[in-house]
Structure 1
Amino acid sequence: MNDLTTHQYRKLLETALPVTADSDTTEVQRETLFTPGSHRSALEPDVTVVKGGRGVGKTHWFKALMNADLREIAAKDYQLPRLLKVESLAGYGSALAPAQYPSTRSLEKLTSSGVPPVDIWTVVALKALGVPAVNNLDNWEARAAWIQKNQEEVEVALADADQEAGRNGITKLFLFDALDRLHGNRQQADRLAGGILEFALNLRLTTRNLRAKVFIRHDMLESAQGNFPDASKLVSNATDLTWSQVNLYGLLFQHLGNADTTESAMFRQIDPGWQERNDRHIPPESLVTDSNTQQQTFIRLAGRFMGTNHRKGHTYTWLPNHLADGNGQTSPRSFLVALRTAAEQTGSTHSTHEYALHWDAIKQGVQVASRTRVSEIQEDIRWIKTAIDPLQGLQVPIEQNDVIARWSEVKLSEMLANFAEQPDDDINVRTGPANPNSYPKLIAELIGLGLMTRRANGKLDLPDVYRIAFDLGRKGGVPRVRT
């Protein structure tokens, strides 16, 4: 069949890609549920810890596993029949669900009254399992008090639930997500996260059919490990949610082939091998795993180069490279936001361009994605803005001594210390870095978070996905976002 016209491709991009790719505010759709091979181990019921940064799919998979229909799709795509015999139970998540688990304010009360974190999550599990003695109590404080006075009954209840699950041939899986929202104080958040990990390990060691799966950021896992002694037994079994370049483009083509439009149907006709399964269209293997096939398809949308020739870079590799953080990971959320923005901007300012995406519009898409990414990181880790703002107007790469000099000039350590001691009324976020008084350690923490990188010559750099919106320059780079 003939290829789509430029206008049809642009319309397809605008209609198929989500306006927002935020898993906290959108539900996972079966049509666009994408199952990259690298995520298979994250869905294994016996894999307890799933690590990942913001926007890589932790909440996406939390919601998918909570949904029996989506679990079935994932089980078939990944050939994981055990997922068909899983009963998912919410241990903690971003949604306000006081009947299932304590809110952040309830957690603050529980920790302030001295309830051990592992007891909090054990009582959450008992309520999810329908244990009458827990369900009959009116609030989480009463339930936590009961568990501390009835340890033997707790063990009996868990053993009974384990045996019942075994008789029914199922695994009861407790899911934990959004751990950065546990508490407003960093140390308390780490203690609560450590309690979740301890609870998860207890299930692994003492039961056969009760399991927990914990979706957690890398930095929080590292700091939470110190809150119980046997963390290494879990961490050795952890897996990462990562996105390769081919994964990102596979996700794009999954979206393009599953829009309810004429253009989407036409797009599926171009490459043979699309299959319809479970009311969703599955791309041919080549569009999911083969970079050469993907590149040829993307060239039809965006052309080959980020300018008039190869000196400006190739479109296929340029976009994910300029959206990657310091750990080399590109958030699929940023990727889709940049592409949708590029399509809209091309239609507005380059409507006669021969391709659906103009290279300047792709750069504008990266600028928008950068603003979104910086906004997200500020929501997750409020002190980041305080640390990076003093560097505005500087150009990277930059000497470490120059960064430290700028921080010293504004007395950043005092700003961060005050910030950590005075959490906001909104207690859904953590409040300070691990070492506010040591600038070298602060730099190391920023590098660990992917906000900074260190070049071979020792100079510090910021990835474009953060640099642009934070208003740092780079010679020949994508222009900064001016407000």
Structure 2
Amino acid sequence: MTEAALTSGEYRELLSAALRDATYADTRRPTAHSLFMPDAHRTALYVDNVVVPGGRGVGKTFWYHSLLDDELREIAAAEYRINRLRHVRVAPGHGLDLCAERYPDTRVLRGLVETGEDPYDIWYTVLLVSLGQEELRGVTEWAEKVAWVRSHPGEAQRTLEWADREAREENIVHLLLFDALEHLHSDRAQADRLVAGMLHLALRMRFGTGSIRLKVFIRPDMLKSATELFADASKLSSYAAELEWTRTDLYGLLFHTLGNEDGDEETAELARRFRNITGGWAPETDGGRHVAPMLLRNDMKSQEILFEEIAGSAMGRGTRKGRPYTWLPNHLMDGAGRISPRSFLKALSEAAEATRSHHFAHDRALHYEAIGKGVQAASKLRVAEVTEDTPWVERAIVPLAGLRVPIAEPTVIDAWQEANLSAVLAEDNARYARADKPSEVRTGPRRPDDLPRLVTELIALGVMTRRSDERLDLPDVYRIAFGLGRNGGVPRPKP
């Protein structure tokens, strides 16, 4: 008997249930059900690739926790065909989890830096702790551990060489993972020094050992700043793999999420019917995980046909404004062409709720006006994320609220001068330097007094772009929530 197609209401229910927690990826541990593996992320998991750049919400923390988990690492090894992932001993070198036995937290790091400890020595100590350096096992305080390593360079190096030799004999690799680097230090200059020390150590292990590796998940702007601080940093580019999401990756993630929803009996049944209707799903394996067929993961035409069943074929009464399949990701790109999967799923989740509230009788699960509302919600989320990570961005863009883009750079500079932006940013940096709470760790611009350089930094972050006529622009994913206008663009939310 042929499986009945899902109605628009059933698709809407499945979307709402499957995407309900899509914005909480950093606080929820990955599971076999949620483990989606874009082809473009394969090289990021190569053991020898030590730097993994990526913006907020692209999967850095997701992969950090997945590699620390034996079951998820095995799934990744099998699906990506990376056999070496089956022969690693993985340990955390830094992350959001409180783990004083493994690495120092923000306050401890601040104390170490303020007393003059070399960042390289700090991370070298963290590495030796993960390798089981005997003399460090009974030492509680990190200041004492770092002091021991600094005063016993020979013993430290012999431990390193012994661990490398033993790992080679056992055919394994010691892999130390680093994440959440924006929480290292409140002062941007000190954070850059700490990251530079970490990357320097990663490079030394890559060239100096055969079986000891670091893998550093890092924001691109922090990578750029840190690599200017030590020699040979350019060599890191040969061992870097950025976490990027193509359009097909994003829709593949959506369909994977729908097919793996199992929150309750009703939605699990909808997910089962979705898998049967679309066809080609691999049999349930790996803790109940369902793997979508390649056509739904990588084939643009197949994805567009399926998404048209969900959202229709036009972003209006005709196709003049575009098709939902391309329109949605195009309006979620930042200035560098990057799309956060969290923003993408947030937009779809909000679109489902807006359709339920205002277009319940629509013949598709998502109404085109509701998709626009979803983009507004995703913009709000994205601005909240960038404000949390880099509060100075909000300081810089708020004085531009009410203006329309594209906009001449002198107009931007004038608005910043009128708002006394340089003084405001300098005071922020001073306040963060005085803060004692780890939650108040922030990184500011490198030169708050150099307003043209702020433009350059905003462009590097993807918050701004520069057009061929030299005017400045903001992509919709930032423009909408920051309150700037654009002729013919997605409108700002009404108060």
TM-score by length of 1: 0.98
Q: Give the C-alpha shift of residue 179 in structure 1.
A: 0.7
The one-letter code matched in structure 2 to 1:435 is: R
Equivalent of residue 205 in structure 2, options 203, 206, 217: 203
Q: Give the C-alpha shift of residue 476 in structure 1.
A: 1.9
The one-letter code matched in structure 1 to 2:220 is: H
The one-letter code matched in structure 2 to 1:99 is: E
Equivalent of residue 449 in structure 2, options 429, 437, 440: 437
Q: Deviations over 1:15-58 (max 9, x none)?
A: 11242433321111211211111111100000011111111111
Is contact 1:54-1:331 (8 Å) kept? yes
Q: Give the C-alpha shift of residue 272 in structure 1.
A: 2.4
Q: Give the C-alpha shift of residue 290 in structure 1.
A: 0.6
Q: What is the DSSP-based 3-state SS (H/G/I as helix, E as strand, rest coil) of the residue aligned with 1:2?
A: coil
Other-structure match for 1:194: 196
Is contact 1:19-1:340 (8 Å) kept? no
Equivalent of residue 299 in structure 1, options 301, 305, 308: 308
Q: Give the C-alpha shift of residue 227 in structure 1.
A: 2.4
Q: Give the C-alpha shift of residue 247 in structure 1.
A: 0.4
Q: Give the C-alpha shift of residue 103 in structure 1.
A: 0.3
Other-structure match for 1:464: 476
Q: Please give the alpha-carbon distance, in whole angstroms, between the structure 2 residues aligned to 1:453 and 1:326.
A: 5
Other-structure match for 2:271: 264
Q: Give the C-alpha shift of residue 239 in structure 1.
A: 1.4
Q: Deviations over 1:37-90 (max 9, x none)?
A: 111110000001111111111111111111111111111111111111111110
Other-structure match for 1:455: 467
Equivalent of residue 280 in structure 2, options 268, 273, 279: 273
The one-letter code matched in structure 2 to 1:289 is: N
Is contact 1:24-1:94 (8 Å) kept? no
Q: Confirm or deny that 1:376 pairs with 2:388.
A: no
Is contact 1:18-1:336 (8 Å) kept? no
Q: Please give the alpha-carbon distance, in whole angstroms, between the structure 1 residues aligned to 2:107 and 2:238.
A: 32
Q: Confirm or deny that 1:157 pairs with 2:149.
A: no
Q: Please give the alpha-carbon distance, in whole angstroms, between the structure 1 residues aligned to 2:238 and 2:54.
A: 15
Q: What is the DSSP-based 3-state SS (H/G/I as helix, E as strand, rest coil) of the residue aligned with 1:305?
A: coil
Gaps of 5+ in 1: none
Q: Give the C-alpha shift of residue 378 in structure 1.
A: 0.8
Is contact 1:92-1:101 (8 Å) kept? yes
Is contact 1:184-1:426 (8 Å) kept? no
The one-letter code matched in structure 1 to 2:83 is: P
Q: Please give the alpha-carbon distance, in whole angstroms, between the structure 1 residues aligned to 2:337 and 2:314.
A: 22
Q: Give the C-alpha shift of residue 320 in structure 1.
A: 0.6
Q: Give the C-alpha shift of residue 235 in structure 1.
A: 2.5
Equivalent of residue 52 in structure 2, options 47, 50, 75: 50
Is contact 2:400-2:484 (8 Å) kept? yes
Q: What is the DSSP-based 3-state SS (H/G/I as helix, E as strand, rest coil) of the residue aligned with 2:175?
A: strand
Q: Please give the alpha-carbon distance, in whole angstroms, between the structure 2 residues aligned to 1:482 and 1:2.
A: 40
Q: Please give the alpha-carbon distance, in whole angstroms, between the structure 2 residues aligned to 1:402 and 1:482.
A: 26
Other-structure match for 1:283: 292
Q: Please give the alpha-carbon distance, in whole angstroms, between the structure 2 residues aligned to 1:24 and 1:6.
A: 31
Equivalent of residue 36 in structure 2, options 34, 53, 56: 34
Other-structure match for 1:392: 401
Q: Please give the alpha-carbon distance, in whole angstroms, between the structure 1 residues aligned to 2:413 and 2:230.
A: 34
Q: Give the C-alpha shift of residue 226 in structure 1.
A: 2.2
Q: Give the C-alpha shift of residue 427 in structure 1.
A: 4.4
Q: Please give the alpha-carbon distance, in whole angstroms, between the structure 1 residues aligned to 2:158 and 2:20.
A: 47
Q: Deviations over 1:220-246 (max 9, x none)?
A: 011101222121122232111110000
Q: Please give the alpha-carbon distance, in whole angstroms, between the structure 2 residues aligned to 1:187 and 1:482.
A: 40
The one-letter code matched in structure 2 to 1:225 is: T
Q: Give the C-alpha shift of residue 116 in structure 1.
A: 0.6
Is contact 2:389-2:443 (8 Å) kept? no
The number of aligned residues is 483
Gaps of 5+ in 2: 263-267
Q: Deviations over 1:431-462 (max 9, x none)?
A: 32122222221111100100001112221111
Q: Confirm or deny that 1:401 pairs with 2:410.
A: yes
Other-structure match for 1:236: 238
Is contact 2:379-2:480 (8 Å) kept? yes
Q: Give the C-alpha shift of residue 422 in structure 1.
A: 2.3
The one-letter code matched in structure 1 to 2:233 is: A
Other-structure match for 2:62: 60
Is contact 2:189-2:446 (8 Å) kept? no
Other-structure match for 2:334: 325
Other-structure match for 1:417: 426
Q: What is the DSSP-based 3-state SS (H/G/I as helix, E as strand, rest coil) of the residue aligned with 1:239?
A: coil
Q: Please give the alpha-carbon distance, in whole angstroms, between the structure 2 residues aligned to 1:297 and 1:183.
A: 46
Q: Give the C-alpha shift of residue 271 in structure 1.
A: 2.1
Q: Please give the alpha-carbon distance, in whole angstroms, between the structure 1 residues aligned to 2:208 and 2:472.
A: 47
The one-letter code matched in structure 1 to 2:453 is: K
Which consecutive aligned stretches of 4+ in structure 1 deviate over 4 angstroms post-superposition?
none
Q: Please give the alpha-carbon distance, in whole angstroms, between the structure 2 residues aligned to 1:403 and 1:418.
A: 21
Is contact 2:347-2:378 (8 Å) kept? yes
Q: Give the C-alpha shift of residue 421 in structure 1.
A: 2.3
Q: Please give the alpha-carbon distance, in whole angstroms, between the structure 2 residues aligned to 1:272 and 1:120.
A: 52
Q: Please give the alpha-carbon distance, in whole angstroms, between the structure 2 residues aligned to 1:227 and 1:135.
A: 32
Other-structure match for 2:100: 98
Is contact 1:416-1:432 (8 Å) kept? yes
The one-letter code matched in structure 1 to 2:174 is: K
Q: Percent identity?
A: 48
Q: Please give the alpha-carbon distance, in whole angstroms, between the structure 2 residues aligned to 1:153 and 1:307.
A: 70
Is contact 2:464-2:475 (8 Å) kept? yes
Q: Give the C-alpha shift of residue 481 in structure 1.
A: 3.2
Select between 23-32 and 287-296 the one with higher mean Cα deviation.
23-32
Give the superposed CA RMSD: 1.2
TM-score by length of 2: 0.95
